[in-house]
Amino acid sequence: MYHHVKKLMYTVKVGTPDVRFGRMLLEQFGGANGELAAAMQYTIQGWNCVDDIARRDLLLDIGTEELSHLEVVGALIRMHLKPLKTEAEAAEADPLVTIAGGGGVALYNSAGNPWTADYLKITGELDVDLRSNIAAEARAKIVYERLIDHTDDPGSIDTLQFLMTREITHMKAFTAALETLEKRPFSIGRLAPTPKLVDEYFNGSTGIGDEADMDVRGPWTSMHGLHEVQSPMDGGEGLSIDHVDGVAGPEDRGKQDDGQRTTTAPELDELIGVADAKY
């Protein structure tokens, strides 16, 4: 059950409206890292936690707070877009917001693209979802930082600072919840990874020459049991075009011819005809 209280979580004050900045703020209203996406993601994840009451409560608490943040962002946007309703010049400068949204908020991002549920990361595996949430809060924090860089209005900066700070709070809460799952750090899902392979760091970007092309080593090649190996190519040299018809035996799989032969158009037509006849 939801109950709306006619108060904002944070009092929004705007000194001088800025239509340009108002449109930028739409990124946190209907964008991929915005408040609606966060509210929907955490809330639905919480509803899925039927067997974990404690973490269900966490997800619903933060999901509900994100709805409150959406209201704060919406109020800030409306105040910055106010000139669209009264000034023809401002309205002409931003016809999408003026015509499609009536000079108010709508579920679009700053580029005018509509909100989509594709933004949501919901797997039904709590440890995976919590990791997604930590990353989502980090992305939102960065977006708020960048928005602060594009305004000189003190009231807007104060509001964005509040919202940005709460992203860090949520990161701490999700991280704590992840740590209480008492799972090994890299125990994801239910199936065990392939032994040995899981600890091999593939050196897949090699080169010689100036410093920018040199191989660089770091802890990512040796920590957590990792060790560096050259990228393997155990699959063979590829599949010859001769084997497309499926008649090659197991002993031929992965073999290639001398690499010099090319296939002519009539040969391709013949192969396609064989495939059509079989399927």
- Classify residue 241 as exposed, middle or buried by CB count within 10 Å of its CB (0-12, 13-18, 19+): middle
Q: Looking at residue 62, what is its pLDDT?
A: 97
Within 8 A by CB and 6+ apart from 142, the residues are none
- Given the residues 27, 35, 65, 80, the one annotated as active site: 35
- Classify residue 125 as exposed, middle or buried by CB count within 10 Å of its CB (0-12, 13-18, 19+): middle
Q: Domain 19-179: which topology?
A: Ferritin (1.20.1260)
Q: Looking at residue 204, what is its pLDDT?
A: 79
Catalytic site includes residue 80? no
Q: Looking at residue 253, what is its pLDDT?
A: 47
- Given the residues 4, 27, 167, 251, the one annotated as active site: 167
On the CB side of 258, CA atoms within 13 Å amount to 3
127 marked as part of a ligand binding site: no
Averages of pLDDT over each 10 residues, the chain, 279 residues: 91 93 94 96 95 92 97 95 73 65 80 92 93 97 97 96 97 94 75 83 72 72 84 66 56 48 58 56
Within 8 A by CB and 6+ apart from 267, the residues are 241
Catalytic site includes residue 145? no
In degrees, rounded to 5, the angle at the alpha carbon of residue 222 between the alpha carbons of residues 221 and 228 is 50
Write down the domain spans for the chain. Answer: 19-179, 197-230, 241-278
170 marked as part of a ligand binding site: yes
Residue 233's Cα: distance from chain center in Å? Answer: 31
Catalytic site includes residue 35? yes
User: How far apart are alpha carbons 224 and 230 in whole angstroms?
Assistant: 18
Catalytic site includes residue 66? yes
User: How far apart are alpha carbons 184 and 196 in whole angstroms?
Assistant: 17
Q: Looking at residue 72, what is its pLDDT?
A: 97
Report pLDDT digits (tens) over 155-179: 999 999 999 999 999 999 999 999 9
Catalytic site includes residue 224? no
- Given the residues 27, 65, 69, 80, the one annotated as active site: 69
- Given the residues 66, 145, 224, 251, the one annotated as active site: 66
Q: What amino acid is encoded at 119 in this protein?
A: Y
Positive or negative, the CA dihedral 72, 43, 26, 152 is positive
61 marked as part of a ligand binding site: yes
